[in-house]
């Protein structure tokens, strides 16, 4: 039974004290690289399709790519998840057989987020599909001071969970999407994870959790890239969050960096190459290496 829903996977993760990585996919090489890592590390895995992925291709392609991974890896629990979904995308995902959806009402006024999420939970649960919701908005801590970003409020989280019935909650504790997360030193409000988990008992989700490895940034720049100095979320901070209630950790940017470094290297060192397989193969291997490392760091390796 390799195709599983999020609730099942996260309940086991919470029971055993680890987190499952949720890795964004846009193409075949990303799906294959992630599954290579899951096989090698004996880890459950969450494959997820973002809003940008839907624009780049579409949900039908993405579902079939993920389904191929499920069918080829019968002994690996795989969650097929919609990341940052709208209600329209959720409806399509339910029709296509996704086992988990995120409804992202985080930018709506609170009561509208509650109403939207509760509506989606009702539909999804009828189909045995899990729902991740979000409360608060992501961004750097400094933006919170400017009032542009809102950290998750624990009192509101208790009310939100009770009124929506969601299966997992994405919380804003100072992480943000992309490669440029912090202006200075990384600063996260980890106490919020502890408090929200203790009061809701729901598996929590961290978005914007790439660590932005300096060696990958250096490799990209060595081969002609021009990324400016940046810092991601330290792995130790993620591990502390896992200990306090985080069970799903979203990683997209680190995969993008790994792919770009691998492809740039081929272009720089073997400029005569023009067969896409010559650079997509090392890119796929770089995905597997990065994802395997995260599986071991999040503690999901060796669980199946």
Positions touching ligand G3H (CB under 6 A) are 24, 50-53, 83-84, 177, 252
- Smallest separation (angstroms) from ligand G3H to the CB of 96: 18
Between 7 and 256, CB nearer to ligand G3H: 256
Between 38 and 138, CB nearer to ligand 13P: 138
Between 84 and 248, CB nearer to ligand G3H: 84
Q: Pick one of ligand 13P, Zn ion, ligand G3H, none as the site partner of residue 210 (Cβ within 5 to 8 A by kind).
A: ligand 13P
Query: Which pair of structure tokens corresponds to residue 186?
Result: 């990384």
- Smallest separation (angstroms) from ligand 13P to the CB of 272: 33
> Which residues here bind ligand 13P, judged by CB under 6 A?
24, 50, 83-84, 177-178, 207-210, 250-254
- Smallest separation (angstroms) from ligand 13P to the CB of 50: 6
Between 101 and 251, CB nearer to ligand 13P: 251
Q: What count of other Cβ atoms lies within 10 Å of the Cβ of residue 171?
A: 28
175: left (phi over 0), alpha (psi -120 to 50) or beta: beta
- Smallest separation (angstroms) from ligand 13P to the CB of 10: 16
Query: Which pair of structure tokens corresponds to residue 107?
Result: 């930018």
- Smallest separation (angstroms) from Zn ion to the CB of 249: 11
Q: Pick one of ligand 13P, ligand G3H, Zn ion, none as the site partner of residue 51 (Cβ within 5 to 8 A by kind).
A: ligand G3H
d(CA 153, CA 187): 17
Do 247 and 15 form a contact (C-beta atoms < 8 A)? no
Tally the C-alpha atoms within 13 A of residue 298's C-alpha that lie toward its C-beta.
36
Q: Pick one of ligand G3H, ligand 13P, Zn ion, none as the site partner of residue 251 (Cβ within 5 to 8 A by kind).
A: ligand 13P
Between 181 and 264, CB nearer to ligand G3H: 181
Q: Pick one of ligand 13P, ligand G3H, Zn ion, none as the site partner of residue 53 (Cβ within 5 to 8 A by kind).
A: ligand G3H
Q: Which of 75, 83, 155, 252 is catalytic?
A: 83
Catalytic (active site) residue 83? yes
Catalytic sites, residue numbers:
83
């Amino acid at each position: 039974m390799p195709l599983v829903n999020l609730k099942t996977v996260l309940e086991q993760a919470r029971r055993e004290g680890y987190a499952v990585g949720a890795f964004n996919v846009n193409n075949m090489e990303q799906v294959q690289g992630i599954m290579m890592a899951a096989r090698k590390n004996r880890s459950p895995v969450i494959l997820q399709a973002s809003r940008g992925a839907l624009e780049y291709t579409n949900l039908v392609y993405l579902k079939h790519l993920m389904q191929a991974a499920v069918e080829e890896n019968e002994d690996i629990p795989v969650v097929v998840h919609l990341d940052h979904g709208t209600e329209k995308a959720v409806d399509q995902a339910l029709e296509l057989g996704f086992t988990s959806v995120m409804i992202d009402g985080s930018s709506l006024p609170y009561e509208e987020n509650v109403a939207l999420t509760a509506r989606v939970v009702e539909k999804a649960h009828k189909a045995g599909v899990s729902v991740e919701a979000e409360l608060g908005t992501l961004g750097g801590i400094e933006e919170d001071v400017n009032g542009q970003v809102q950290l998750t409020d624990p009192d509101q989280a208790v009310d939100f969970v009770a009124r929506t019935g969601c299966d997992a909650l994405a919380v804003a504790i100072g992480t943000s999407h992309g490669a440029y997360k912090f202006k200075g030193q990384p600063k996260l409000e980890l106490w919020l994870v502890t408090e929200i988990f203790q009061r809701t008992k729901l598996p929590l989700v961290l978005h914007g959790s790439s660590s932005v490895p300096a060696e990958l940034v250096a490799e990209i720049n060595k081969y002609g890239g021009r990324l400016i100095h940046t810092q991601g979320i330290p792995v130790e901070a993620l591990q502390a969050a896992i200990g306090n209630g985080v069970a799903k950790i979203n990683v997209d940017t680190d995969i993008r960096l790994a792919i770009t470094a691998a492809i740039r290297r081929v272009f720089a060192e073997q400029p005569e190459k023009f067969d896409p397989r010559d650079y997509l193969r090392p890119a796929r291997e770089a995905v597997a290496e990065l994802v395997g490392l995260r599986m071991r760091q999040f503690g999901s390796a060796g669980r199946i």
